[in-house]
């Protein structure tokens, strides 16, 4: 029996967050869906797991209640990598602690098929937008590791280490795309001329690009009991290097 794990997010103006939380939590319980969903006024961000038939039903309910069409990344595992169903209301669906106009990032997305060409360009600065312990599991060839402990530290790193007058073409990536959705507009505001983000993140790239053509090296850290996934989106072998200040995996 294989469990399906899906990740999805959307920047979408939401109201009545307590009502949304109750509705989504009810749907998770009805279809035995486990994982975490964050809702905020700026949108939602989720990683959940369940049997494929139940995931399909849950997605239908979610789309109907939030009046949207989900674009999610999917993988499979022999066990459910979560223990609980959580729906949390927060100020941000990914914490940058800076006001950003997401719309300014329109036109910066690069699909998986075009990513290799972009990052193989010698003029491109490749920026890993993830935390240091995530980068340790794997990253793209030639990428900069900013060695940050949390996403909200990234603006300071860029301000101190990258120069818009010298680094005119920056390509960034993260696990599923959500962090880059916030950071690409911010980099444009900081004066960087050409900013690109990997559409759908690493997970979409691994889904789309053949292993023998991939420029990804190592495994991709994921925030569930699998710890990391390999090029085939199967559970990897990377160790969990998260510091004690970060929540440990839900089970061993």
Give the pLDDT of residue 83. Answer: 94
Tell whether pTM > 0.95.
Answer: no
Q: Which residue has the tokens 């680094």?
A: 167
Q: Distance (Å, rounded) from C-alpha 70 to C-alpha 229?
A: 22
**155 has a pLDDT exceeding 90:** yes
Give the pLDDT of residue 248. Answer: 52
Report domain 102-229's class.
alpha beta
Taking only the tens place, the pLDDT of each residue in 16-72 is 999 999 999 999 999 999 999 999 999 999 999 999 999 999 999 999 999 999 999
200-227: average pLDDT: 96
Give the pLDDT of residue 247. Answer: 57
Give the pLDDT of residue 172. Answer: 98
Give the pLDDT of residue 251. Answer: 45
Hey, where are the domains in the chain? 3-89, 102-229
220 as an active site residue: the answer is: no
- Choose the catalytic residue: 80, 174, 180, 220: 174
Share of the chain above pLDDT 90, in %: 95
Per-residue pLDDT band at 201 (split at 50, 70, 90)? very high
Give the pLDDT of residue 249. Answer: 47
Q: Pick the closest to residue 158 from 76, 148, 234 (CA basis).
A: 148
**143 has a pLDDT exceeding 90:** yes
224-243: average pLDDT: 94
Q: Mean pLDDT, the chain, as a whole number?
A: 95
Give the pLDDT of residue 250. Answer: 45
Give the pLDDT of residue 246. Answer: 65
- Architecture of the domain made up of 3-89: 2-Layer Sandwich (3.30)
Give the pLDDT of residue 98. Answer: 87
């Amino acid at each position: 029996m294989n469990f399906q794990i899906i990740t999805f997010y959307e920047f979408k103006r939401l109201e009545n967050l307590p009502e949304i939380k109750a509705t989504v939590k009810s749907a998770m319980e009805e279809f035995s869906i486990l994982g975490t969903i964050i809702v905020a006024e700026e949108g939602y961000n989720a990683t959940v797991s369940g049997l494929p038939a139940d995931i399909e039903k849950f997605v239908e309910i979610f789309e109907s209640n939030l009046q949207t069409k989900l674009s999610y990344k999917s993988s499979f595992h022999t066990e459910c990598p979560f223990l609980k169903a959580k729906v949390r209301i927060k100020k941000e669906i990914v914490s940058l602690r800076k006001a950003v106009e997401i719309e300014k990032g329109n036109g910066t997305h690069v699909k998986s098929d075009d990513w290799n060409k972009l990052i193989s360009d010698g003029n491109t600065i490749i920026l890993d937008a993830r935390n240091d312990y995530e980068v340790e599991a794997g990253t793209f060839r030639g990428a900069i590791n900013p060695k940050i402990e949390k996403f909200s530290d990234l603006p300071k790193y860029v301000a101190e280490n990258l120069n818009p007058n010298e680094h005119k073409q920056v390509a960034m990536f993260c696990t599923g795309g959500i962090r880059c959705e916030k950071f690409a507009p911010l980099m444009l505001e900081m004066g960087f001329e050409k900013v690109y983000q990997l559409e759908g993140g690493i997970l979409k790239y691994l889904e789309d690009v053949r292993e023998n053509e991939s420029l990804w090296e190592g495994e991709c850290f994921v925030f569930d009991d699998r710890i990391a996934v390999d090029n085939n989106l199967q559970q990897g072998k990377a160790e969990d290097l998260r510091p004690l200040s970060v929540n440990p995996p839900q089970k061993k």
